[in-house]
Amino acid sequence: MRSLLIGTGVGLILGATAVGLSAIAAPQEATPPQTDPRTVTYQQLELFAEILARARQEYVTEIDEPEAMEAAINGMLTSLDPHSGYLNADDFKSMQVQTSGEYGGLGIEVTMEDGFVKVISPMDDTPASRAGIQPGDLITAIDGLPIIGQTLNEAVKQMRGEKGTQIEISVLRKGEDPFDVTLTREVIEQKSVTWQLDDEDIGYIRIATFNERTTPLLEAAVNEISEKTGGRPRGIIVDLRNNGGGLLDQAVSVSDMFLSGGEVVSTQGRRATDMQSYMAHNGEVFKGVPLIVLINGGSASASEIVAGALQDRRRATIVGTTSFGKGSVQTVIPLGADRGALRLTTARYYTPSGHSIQALGIEPDVSISPARLTEEELAKIRRFSEADLPHALANEEGAERHALTMPDEQPPEGYEGEDFQLERAKQMLKDGTITASTGLKRAG
């Protein structure tokens, strides 16, 4: 430290002349030369080239240079955050097929963690959901071959394949012994919206993902419910549980249907000028009808945009458990000439109140557990969220995800029903606990 250096200097020249003391005791600190960041980058590129040349010449077997370069690019991007990455030409085509809503595979939304594939959510009525795959499951091997050492894109490519072919995945689940599951691949026709109307005119709309077909399918569901109820259902439940997200424009258009004017969501990029607000049009479906949105830890990204917008605008009551907490937006940038595409996190998004849910999630207005828990069981739960992912962006407001607490409600002892959260949502609409104008009625 500077004070120690000055003190040592004075001690060393004790007894010298006054001029000598002054000259040595108070040296002018030299300003270190500023290094041009571009120079550092070029030096690192030279280092990379040297390492590649060494590996080419001296590695024990011949290396696949294009594959090594692709891995290096992907490593750089995934070190930024868990949602950025490089898509080679084949991966880019697969992504385009997935967002169009039909492809062959198992039907799971996944990410990478500690070298394993981690399930964010299984899609409805797919091989994965029917086999009981759960959010937070770690896939450690595919057909007996360990996943460690592969990229997420490579693992996903292995899980996709021809309809009717079988695949065995090894699963690691918290609190259980590792187990294998054999699945049969299917053409995943992501019917992103389904609906039901019960005998008391409560409409149930399930949105499983946000792809290019979500808004048209939702419009069709709304029209059917409206026709059967004369435009006045007793209440509407929108189920976003285990919906891992999808396209931003679909999240905006879905929110728009239930709002009349005003902001849905805003995004902020790196520069102050990179700000955009997405607004709802005037007019909304089922105006004046009570609305409940169901969420859980598998509700991510686009699902959180919808839940956050309807919660902040006081149009819906949010019921369930805290959502995943992905508050960032990725842009897919085609690189042309069969070079694939860059998937890059380019913005954070904010709910209409101006808050970021990054690494936090959407907190429900009424927390309802799907299963009965004791305090001891709650303490043993290992939560899986955006904040747990390697290199996840921090919440820029400095906020942290709330610790798990006992829910407001949970199933009674001996409960044998299929879906307690949905049952309670319906009951709250039937008994008037939820109103359209103020959401949840609170005592006092």
Are 50 and 35 in contact by the 8 Å Cβ rule? The answer is: no
pLDDT given for residue 442 in this prediction: 40
Q: Is 301 noted as a catalytic residue in this protein?
A: yes
Q: Residue 31's pLDDT is what?
A: 62
Residue 309 in contact with residue 295, Cβ under 8 Å? no
pTM tops 0.75, yes or no: yes
**Annotated catalytic residue: which of 121, 301, 328, 369?**
301
Distances (CA, A) of 281 to 263, 316, 422: 9, 18, 30
* Residue-wise burial string across 13-50, b where 16 or more C-beta atoms lie within 10 A, e elsewhere: eeeeeeeeeeeeeeeeeeeeeeeeeeeeeeeeeeeeee
- Nearest residue to 309 via CA among 346, 345, 279: 279
Active site residue 419: no
Domains in the chain, please, with CATH? 105-189 (2.30.42.10), 193-431 (3.90.226.10)
Residue pair 226/145 in contact by the 8 Å Cβ criterion: no
- Which residue of the set 91, 239, 312, 365 is catalytic? 312
Q: What is the pLDDT of residue 24?
A: 36
pLDDT, block means (10 residues), the chain with 444 residues: 30 31 45 78 94 95 93 93 92 76 80 87 89 93 91 86 91 92 88 92 95 95 97 97 93 98 97 96 95 96 98 97 96 90 96 96 97 87 85 93 93 94 96 75 39
| 141 backbone φψ class: left, alpha, beta (φ>0; ψ -120 to 50) | beta
**Cβ(267)–Cβ(323) below 8 Å:** no
Partner residues linked to 347 by β-bridges: 329
Cα 261 to Cα 137: distance, rounded to the nearest angstrom: 40
Residue with tokens 């240079």: 65
- Angle of helix 248-257 relative to helix 214-229, nearest 10 degrees, comes to 20
Per-residue pLDDT at 21: 30
Q: Which two tokens stand for residue 329?
A: 């937006």
Cα–Cα distance, 157 to 339 (Å, whole number): 17
Q: Is 326 an annotated catalytic residue? A: yes
Catalytic residue chosen out of the listed positions 192, 326, 367, 369: 326
Backbone angles phi, psi at 87, to 5 degrees: -115, 115
